[in-house]
Structure 1
Amino acid sequence: MKKVKEVNEARSPKGGKGSSSTKLIGKLIGSAIVLVVAIGLFLTFFVTKIDNGNVGVVYKISGGVQDEMLAQGWHIILPTERVIEYPVRTQTVSYDGLAVATVDGKALSMPVSLNYHVDPEKASAVYKKFGNVSIEDLQAGYIQSRSQDALRQVVSQYTVIETFGEKTGEIKNGTLERLAADLENIGIIIEDVIVNPPQPDEETQKAIDERVKATQNLERTKTDKEIAKQEAERKVIEAEGEKKANEIRSKSLTPEIIQEKLIEKWDGKQPITIGGDGVIVDFKQTEE
């Protein structure tokens, strides 16, 4: 037994090369793990990425919101800084119905859609005004209320019939102009506004139908009058032309031409009786 123990100790000597290599590999693996963890922590707490279509608003504990913003891409930040992303690409929001009233007192609910974006140069101003509010909350709150106010001011200048009819284009343009001027100063750019006519109730629909029918009758009357006028003018022109033609023919009928016409129509028989009193014209007679 003693000999076997001595042989085993000889095969695995203490402090040999095998033991040193194992310890070295272990240290390297441990160092690599520490390095990876350190890089991960650095990326987590000191590096931020701004996605495409966004800008980063920087908030410093010591200085508040900074005017300079971060563009898309990777950025190194300090532990005392916080970055809030704001989308600056075009956003579309729709409101099912904004409550308004016409100049003749008709209450309506009008669907409205907006295309807008946050001005990249003023994203920090938007954050300063509204704080850490998401773009969705901004749409459902401030933007909706300003849209309703702009539409209300415009619609109040038109009657209910005009709102459903020929003035819809003016209502859209007026709302776009007012809303754009209202929101541009705080950094929200309105690109387009779509104002859809509301769903009319039975009374309003009846008034619209009567208005359409009256307009059609008026247009038909105007068309009939125009046709009659053109026909009368045509007859006057034809009559004047006929009168002038008769005058020209009358002036051109000299005795010589009359005699020539009679000769052209003469069939060669003599004498030729012309008139009802038995007047005989002898074409052999020479002129005096």
Structure 2
Amino acid sequence: MKNVNFLKASAFIALAFLMTQCAIVRPGEVGIVQRMGVIRGASITQGSRWFNPFTSKVVKINARTVESFNTLPLPTKEGLSVNTEISLLYHVNPESAKAVYTRFGRNYEEVIVLSNFRATAREVSSRYFAKELYATERTKIEKAVAEELSSHIAQYGFVVDAVLLKDIDLPAQLAQAIENKVNAEQAVLQMEFVVEKQKKEAERLVIEAEGIKKAQDIINQSLTEKLLQYNNIQMLKSLVNSPNTKVIVTGSQPSQLMVNTDKNP
């Protein structure tokens, strides 16, 4: 019995020892083999790798896109300082993972990425007024920070995916002033819209009046004396033929008639 337990324990220890000799590199990671303090061989993109745990180790570098969330006070063009919540999305270029680890170690994010990110964000924000950060130029600022940061750190093996200005905390008085100005601008635009609408309505009325006038001119030109007499005669004929109408001749002209439309006899 003791021999059986001893064999089981020995097998478990052997299995555990073998497990410590195997490193698994998952998708999105890059493995770097370091033996006796020296990096050897090509990087491992994914899969397993056997190594001697007494002389070697496998360092894993994350090559997925990661988000670094920061709360930064950013200067503005008018000399103010506004608190912002700003995120950086970036990843390590897998082909440069070995160089990144060799040059900056495992703490590469703080050493090279975030230090450049903070400096670039402050430099770009100082070109804009607070109201532009708050409302009108946010997308432009995000793009400028991303492009300039990329120019600083791409050479070291980092890829900037995006920069996102999530929140900007302005002083209360400044925020109210910006809001009042935006409301005033909206009111001006609304008034301009109303004025333009009234102009269009006036133009419509003029065009309608001109059309009515032209129609009347055409009708007036077509109304001759004979046509008027003919229409008058046709109207009188319809009245005479009505059983409830009395016709009294008052003159020699067809128009000199008195018509009584009283239905009572």
- TM-score class normalised by the smaller sequence: 0.7 to 0.9
SS in structure 2 at match of 1:126:
helix
**Structure-2 separation of matches of 1:263 and 1:73:** 109
- CA distance change for structure 1 residues 31 and 48 in 2, over 3 Å: closer, same or farther? same
Answer yes or no: is 1:50 the counterpart of 2:25.
yes
Counting aligned pairs with the same residue, the percent is: 27
CA deviation string 1:130-185 (max 9, x = no partner): 02x24xxx434432222222322332232111111121122222222323343333
Answer yes or no: is 1:71 the counterpart of 2:45.
yes
> Offset at 1:196?
2.3
TM value normalised by structure 1: 0.72
Deviates more, 1:219-228 or 1:180-189: 180-189
**Structure-1 separation of matches of 2:189 and 2:83:** 31
**Structure-2 separation of matches of 1:229 and 1:66:** 79
- CA distance change for structure 1 residues 209 and 256 in 2, over 3 Å: closer, same or farther? same
Contact 1:163 1:197 in 2 (8 A): no
- CA distance change for structure 1 residues 82 and 221 in 2, over 3 Å: closer, same or farther? same
Identify the residue that residue 6 of structure 1 maps to in structure 2. Answer: none
CA deviation string 1:4-48 (max 9, x = no partner): xxxxxxxxxxxxxxxxxxxxx97x99899778766655554x543
- CA distance change for structure 1 residues 223 and 35 in 2, over 3 Å: closer, same or farther? closer
Identify the residue that residue 121 of structure 1 maps to in structure 2. Answer: 95
Answer yes or no: is 1:177 the counterpart of 2:147.
yes
Stretches of structure 2 lacking an aligned partner (at least 5 in a row): 241-246, 256-265
Paired letter, 1:85: K
Identify the residue that residue 190 of structure 2 maps to in structure 1. Answer: 220
Paired letter, 1:222: E
2:77 paired residue among 100, 103, 108: 103
**Structure-1 separation of matches of 2:126 and 2:159:** 25
- CA distance change for structure 1 residues 238 and 184 in 2, over 3 Å: closer, same or farther? same
Identify the residue that residue 216 of structure 2 maps to in structure 1. Answer: 246
- Larger Rg over CA atoms: 1
Answer yes or no: is 1:201 the counterpart of 2:171.
yes
CA deviation string 1:58-88 (max 9, x = no partner): 23448x4357201333212356543211112
- CA distance change for structure 1 residues 233 and 67 in 2, over 3 Å: closer, same or farther? farther
Paired letter, 2:92: V
Paired letter, 2:218: I
1:89 paired residue among 64, 67, 71: 64
Q: Which runs of 4+ in 1 moved over 6 A?
A: 28-36
Identify the residue that residue 258 of structure 1 maps to in structure 2. Answer: 228
Identify the residue that residue 281 of structure 1 maps to in structure 2. Answer: 253
Contact 1:49 1:74 in 2 (8 A): yes
**RMSD of Structure 2 on Structure 1 (CA):** 3.1
Number of residue pairs aligned between Structure 1 and Structure 2: 246
